[in-house]
Structure 1
Amino acid sequence: MPRRVLISDALSPAAIAIFKDRGVEVDFQPALGKDKEKLASIVGGFDGLAIRSDTKVTAEVLEKATRLKVIGRAGIGVDNVDIAAATAKGVIVMNTPFGNSITTAEHAIALMFALARQIPTADASTQAGKWEKKRFMGVEITGKVMGLIGCGNIGSIVAARASGLHMHVIAYDPFLSPERAQDLDVEKVDLDSLLARADVISLHTPLTAQTKNILSAATLAKTKKGVRIINCARGGLVDEQALRALLDSGHVAGAAFDVFVDEPAKENPLFGHPNVVCTPHLGASTSEAQENVALQIAEQMSDYLTRGAVSNAVNFPSITAEEAPKLRPFIALSEYLGSFAGQLVDSGVTKVTIIYEGAVTELKTKALTASVIAGLLRPMLADVSVVSAPAVAKERGIVIDEVSRAADGDYESLITLVVETETEERRIAGTVFHAGKPRIISVNTIDVDALIAPAMIYVSNEDKPGFIGRFTSMLGAAGINIATFALGRDREGGSAIALVAVDETAPETVLAEVKRLPGVKEVKALSF
């Protein structure tokens, strides 16, 4: 039976031709993505689904996709796809992570100029027959400080363009190594320093639990008076109400937004302010970028459907059908280890060492390493996949070492992750038992035996009597149910850890209370 692909958003004729040239049948319905019910009614007859942003691939749509093998997103963002539901059904989700980078970076620079010279309002005034030359007094860009929140693929392009404009570029990015910053001619700083010094702040980070409202009322209050703020990344990175208040007070001189908390944005707190420039999510909207991502996703999907090759998958590494059954539980373990470490580290990662011991060394450890790195980076860089993670890590100057050796202990297979940052080292080890369930068996050389759960609490504390009772009572009083409780210590009266699986994510208020308990060194809510 020939492979069939449904295209439910606009895609270029050249992309359609790629499918057909590879022997893949195409049903091109560019308006279908806006009709979720009709999409669900016909998606079951296709092996592949090619989309842009209009199509929402929900769990309900996937439930009807009995034949579907791959979803291809022409672009980087996959927040319109239920990744968990797709993974559960064995559907690979691909994107094109680098096709829009230059276009989005250029849009950020364009918005900076629009703000600096008040171009939109000056244009409207002039075309209305006014000649308000004195009203539109601009500022020069040359010599100003550009502050980047996020200096990955797009942020680094903005940095290069800003440097070419003779701006001084500073960046806040925990994953930016000093060496990479030097190569980019960027000064790496902490967030408070960036807020205090930047004349222009441009955001280039995904929306994650750590970055949501990274420019909140509190952090916006720390900005330099007269700052201009640009967001071409994701809605939700900036508290829009708080920003409006500072625009009204004159503390913030201007803001330019291409993305909003609610899209399409019919109403927004920023709308109507004379010093605000807004565009309707145009970051990727150039003919070159649209063509690039369309061609790329057509090639990737065709290669998978006709040859089994996997490229830029966000939910699965490149492995063969024969390798999959043995490798799958270790892939899960690897991502858990990386995610665990990524949620603990608070400063820039400089080096990652992954030690494979025993039978696991006979498997494809490159896929496991990619899963570790993806898990490590994803808490800060949500769009990182197991395919793109090694390249993203290299881009940030993170050194990755793999060590394989014979088993030397109680476990048939053991994976140990060592993460070195600018200020600390974290060491986490895990294994897979015969039932195929990954387990954490040590944290920072302290032995523990813990199953991974979707929501967990990690506590490091002094080994003193009474701590467990106070801790569990505090959770109980907050209505947080404990599923499992794993303990470990290095010696009597020394350092101890607790890994607690809970039924729901612990609120920050509860974590703050736990942190105040006597002897507690560190408390983190973990999600997997």
Structure 2
Amino acid sequence: MAARVLVSDDLSPEAVAVLKQAGLEVDVKVGLKPDALEAIIGDYDALAVRSATKVTAKLLEKASRLRVIGRAGVGVDNVDLDAATRRGVVVMNTPGGSSVTVAELALAMILALSRHVPAATASVKAGKWEKKRFQGHELAGKTLGVVGIGNIGSVLVDRALAMKMRVVAYDPFISAEAAAKLGVERVELDALWAQADVVSLHVPLTEQTRNLVDAKVLARMKKGALLVNCARGGIVDERALADALASGHLGGAALDVFEQEPPPADHPLLGLDGFVATPHIGASTEEAQSAVAVAVAEQLAAYLNHGVVKNAVNVPGLPREIMDQIAPFLPLCEKLGSLAAQLAPQGPSEVTVEVAGELAAAPIRPLAARTLAAFLRHHLETPVNDVSAPAVAKERGIAVREVRSAEPHDYASLVTVTVRGQGGEAHVAGTVYGKREARLVRVDGFRLEAVPEGHVILCENDDAPGVVGNLGTALGAAGVNIARISLSRLDDHSRAFAFLNVDSAPAPGVLEQVRRLPHVRTVRSIHL
């Protein structure tokens, strides 16, 4: 009997044809109300959606036959992943379907800025003929600085090289050798800002990349340089950008994304010459929309007919008894991977995931994949999942080691993550109490017991009296509330360490105040 697929959002006719040609029984029912969808979902093995259908826990309770959900697009915000995982439903998306489309928009932005296309068009339509006003610049021979060379950034690199541009790139998660294969020179950010005639951003929005391009960075860029952001709003300090354009320091800027969308009518950038904007249309082409629909159809057919999993965003294909054993440790692995990413040295070359104690009898691969995906997700502009993470790491020259040890290291089960790179190594470990209480038990050489969640301040200091009191006083004066604190020190009492869960992220100025406190060596803010 053929597997049944329900298509509940608009997919292209080509995508529906792929499903039918694979021998699947397909029903297209677009625009169903939640009650109507719940009434029929129990008859289907697969569900194909875009963003309109909300796949809730309530809906999944009715989906007794459902084996897989396919999302035509990158985000899966409309799918309750936890509920799907608990019910053993594989959730897939199509993260690479719009890479070419977004890269082409970035290139279009660069061309529009360098040749003043929007302003010149407006001038001609206004009855003017201002040839001298719109003298532009050739791109050939100019230096393009690409921040992030993942799926989208690498496509832009390819196009830019074809246009005879020199390309420099910053990406801490790719080796110099891998960058050279793409035809680019890997440089540090300070060098990129100083060298580039054009800068294009292709990184995700994280605690580390928020306001990555601020007033100081803009001041370091070459006079007359161009800036393009088709990645995420919030990476660029928009008011600082407006000041840099108004002063004439930058030659132009283009944004497809804003911190607030749509931007307010009085946004300072909207009234400036040399500024080009589009309404978040990076993935909005007929080809991309069709491509992701066909891609998700092919993925659903491969899974239903052959058990092949591609672009899964949760843990697929494990026997229920194994899933029950490792499930409590998957959230822990995600936290350890995220923490390791934020502590990792530049140019990481190796990630080791060691599983010890009782958990060592279970498959390591799902735990390592979840750790690696969280680790990579902090530094890539496109989503990484448990299935794609090993391949992405290999592409970037990062070796992944999975180590099994029966030695429990004072805990019934322990997961340890070590990241090695050019600047040394980062070392974190954690365990789970009972079935759900994740605990961080080691950061580098410090033993502790901390809850890995939310906003966190990490402080390393001399093991001297008064440091913790000063730290609490400084944060309290700045309105930063400490929810939990875990303290540790080395056996020789040379150094101490504090892991503080706080209710809100401290402002950069607050961290600077803490750094100036007596005996404080390092302080940083992270988010888990």
Between the aligned residues of both structures, percent identity stands at 46
- In the alignment, structure 1 residue 380 sits paired with structure 2 residue 379: yes
Amino acid at match of 1:111: M
Structure 2's unaligned 5+ residue stretches are none
More deviation, 338-347/202-211: 338-347
User: Which amino acid is the alignment partner of residue 440 of structure 1?
Assistant: L
| Distance change (3 Å), C-alpha of 1:516 and 1:222 | same
| Distance of 1:77 and 1:255 partners within structure 2 | 27
Contact persistence 2:104–2:156 (CA under 8 A):
yes
* CA–CA separation in structure 1 for the residues paired with 2:207 and 2:33: 31
How does the TM-score come out when normalised to structure 1?
0.86
| Secondary structure of residue in 2 paired with 1:183 | helix
- How far did residue 509 of structure 1 move? 4.3
Superposed CA RMSD: 3.2
Residue among 133, 137, 140 paired with 1:139: 137
Kindly provide the amino acid, as one letter, of the partner of residue 410 in structure 1. Answer: D
Instruction: Report how far residue 140 of structure 1 moved.
Output: 1.0
Q: TM-score, normalised by structure 2?
A: 0.86
Segment of structure 1 superposing worse, 291-300 or 125-134 = 125-134
Residue identity in the other structure for 1:381:
L
Q: Which residue of 1 aligns with 2:495?
A: 495
**Could you tell me which residue of structure 2 aligns to residue 400 of structure 1?**
400
**Shift of residue 379, structure 1, vs aligned partner:** 2.6
> What's the CA shift for 1:148?
0.8
| Unaligned stretches of 5+ residues in structure 1 | 33-37
Find 1:208's aligned residue among 206, 229, 232: 206
Deviates more, 1:83-92 or 1:269-278: 83-92
Q: How big is the shift at 1:338?
A: 1.1
Name the CA shift for 1:505/1:85 in 2 (closer, same or farther; >3 Å): farther
8 Å CA contact 2:227, 2:254 repeated in 1: yes
> Against the structure 1 CA distance between its residues 4 and 156, is the aligned structure 2 distance closer, same or farther, given a 3 Å change threshold?
closer
1:526 aligns with 2:505: no
1:11 and 2:11 correspond = yes
**Equivalent residue number for residue 429 of structure 1:** 429
1:80 & 1:209 partners in 2: Cα distance? 23
CA distance in 1, matches of 2:424, 2:81: 33
Decide which moves more: 131-140 or 225-234. Answer: 131-140
* Map of 1:184 onto structure 2: 182
Alignment equivalent of 2:194, drawn from 196, 201, 208? 196
Once the two structures are superposed, residues 276-316 of structure 1 have per-residue CA deviations (whole angstroms, 9 ceiling, x without a partner) of 33333333233332222101122334556777764323344
Q: Does 1:44 align with 2:38?
A: yes
Report deviation, 1:124: 4.5
**Residues 145 and 198 of structure 2 are in contact (CA less than 8 Å); yes or no, is this contact kept in structure 1?**
yes
Which whole-Å CA distance do the structure 1 matches of 2:132 and 2:508 have between them?
50
In the alignment, is residue 160 of structure 1 matched against residue 161 of structure 2? no
Secondary structure of the structure 1 residue equivalent to 2:311: coil
Give a deviation string over 1:178-215, Cα, whole Å, max 9, x none: 22222222222222222222111111112222212222
User: Alpha-carbon deviation of 1:241?
Assistant: 3.0
SS at match of 2:440: strand
Match of 2:236 in 1: 238
Change (3 A) 1:239 1:476: closer
Aligned to 2:27: 26
Change (3 A) 1:130 1:207: same
- Mapped to 1, the partners of 2:514 and 2:283 lie a distance apart of 44
Cα deviation for residue 426 of structure 1 reads 0.9
1:436 deviation in Å?
4.7
**DSSP 3-state at the match of 1:221:** helix
Higher mean displacement: 156-165 or 17-26: 17-26
Contact 2:345 2:420 in 1 (8 A): no
Question: What is the letter of the counterpart of residue 158 of structure 2?
Answer: A
Would the alpha carbon gap of residues 190 and 79 (structure 1) be closer, same or farther in structure 2, given more than 3 Å must change?
Answer: farther
Q: State the shift of 1:250 in Å.
A: 2.0
From 95, 100, 112, give the equivalent of 1:114.
112
The answer to whether the 8 A contact 1:461-1:519 is kept is: yes
Distance 2:34 2:232 in 1: 28
**Could you tell me whether the CA contact under 8 Å between 1:319 and 1:367 is conserved in 2?**
no
Shift of 1:343: 1.8
Structure 1 range deviating more: 170-179 or 39-48: 39-48
1:19–1:26 CA contact under 8 A, matched in 2: no
Q: Which residue of 2 aligns with 1:448?
A: 448
